[in-house]
């Protein structure tokens, strides 16, 4: 099931260039990573082919953070002692 997970998530604006190979991104508070990243971790956005569009679930905002309603849990695994879920 790991092949079904996305390697890159979201469209984020570049807030600034820190050095020749480091940029700062504008990230929502729900993403728990440092906003300054190496450019090797970033890819230019290319829109999907029309036939491959996927329908994203409706966002639910709880306590000013983005969350999604889970229709079904497809898979579960342990990663570094924490449970990770593949959901629909």
Domain boundaries, the chain: 12-87
67, two tokens: 């969350």
**Which among 23, 67, 62 has a CA at the least distance from the CA of 44?**
23
Question: Distance from CA of residue 72 to its chain's centroid?
Answer: 19
Phi-psi region of 80 (alpha: psi -120 to 50; beta: other; left: phi over 0): left
Which pLDDT value is given to residue 19? Answer: 93
3-state SS assignment for residue 52: helix
Each residue's pLDDT tens digit, 1-60: 556 656 677 788 899 999 999 999 998 887 888 899 999 888 887 777 777 666 666 666
The 8-class DSSP code of residue 20 comes to T
What pTM was estimated for this model as a whole?
0.47
């Amino acid at each position: 099931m790991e092949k079904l997970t996305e390697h890159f998530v979201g469209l984020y604006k570049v807030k600034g260039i820190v050095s020749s190979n480091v940029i700062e991104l504008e990230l929502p508070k729900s993403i728990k990573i440092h906003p300054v990243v190496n450019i090797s971790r970033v890819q230019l956005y290319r829109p999907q082919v029309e036939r491959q569009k996927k329908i994203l679930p409706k966002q639910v905002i709880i306590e000013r953070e983005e969350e999604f309603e889970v229709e079904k849990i497809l898979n579960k695994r342990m990663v570094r002692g924490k449970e990770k879920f593949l959901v629909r």
